[in-house]
Amino acid sequence: MMFSPYETAVSLFYHLANLFFWPVAISLLTLFSWSLLDLGRLLNQAWRRNKESRTDLVALARRLKTVSVTGVWHRPDLEGVPLSRSLRGFWAKVEGRLAALEDTEHIDLWLEEVLEQEEIEITSRLDRSRALVRIGPMLGLSGTIIPLGPALQALLGGDMPGMVRHLVIGFGAVVCGLVLSGISYGITLVRERWARVDLKEMENLCELLMRVRKGAAVDSELQNAGF
């Protein structure tokens, strides 16, 4: 029996679609489970952020005024200053970098580098949930369309229960994909808002360090000039 090119293509696409069903189904279920776990982590982070101390910018500025420049960088001790969890972690990185500096001549470049690295890390974490916002509907649509082929085949053969079974799988896949996307979208919005707040605090810290450094440098020059 001879097959036309069109029938050959139809048979090829049909088998390819069925071949992709299990990878799509497994990926969809795995990512859906991961999104639920990520939602749990988000709720835990929200609870911790609500309980942790907030950054006191005034107290931070007063403590940073203790910085002096006398040829060697004297790092300020921020112990006891109310800082948020993210800012305290950022300060640990800044302090480690400043410990390696012999002077503060190029401190602006070092602070900018540390801040950019922190922005890259935050963006990388956000990209995971952002990707699921797009991937969820695509996997859901794929999981819906793939069972339509077997459903139509069952309809052609008069197997109504088989057709209904395939359609139920397809509808379940699209719902799963949309819920996955919705959860990821909500998680992304909340974490983006937190990221903006955290990055603003980090920028404020860097700006205060720069201002204190400039003021200390001016005082040092005045002392050297005899004023």
- Residue 73: pLDDT band (50, 70, 90) is very low
Indicate the helix (H) or strand (E) that contains 209: helix 160-224
pLDDT of residue 226: 40
Which is more confident, 225 or 174? 174
Whether residue 73 contacts residue 187, with contact meaning beta carbons closer than 8 Å, is answered with no
- Residue 191: pLDDT band (50, 70, 90) is very high
pLDDT of residue 223: 41
pLDDT of residue 181: 94
Q: Is the pTM of this model over 0.85?
A: no
Distance, CA of 198 to CA of 188 (rounded, Å): 15
DSSP 31-49: HHHHHHHHHHHHHHHHHHH
pLDDT of residue 43: 94
Convert the pLDDT of each residue in 37-71 to its tens digit: 999 999 999 998 888 777 777 777 777 766 544 43
Distance, CA of 109 to CA of 221 (rounded, Å): 22
Distance, CA of 91 to CA of 205 (rounded, Å): 8
Q: In the chain, what percentage of residues exceed pLDDT 70?
A: 80
Residues for the chain: how many in total? 227
| Residue 27: Cβ-neighbour burial (10 angstroms; 0-12, 13-18, 19+) | middle
| Tokens representing residue 141 in the block | 């649509």
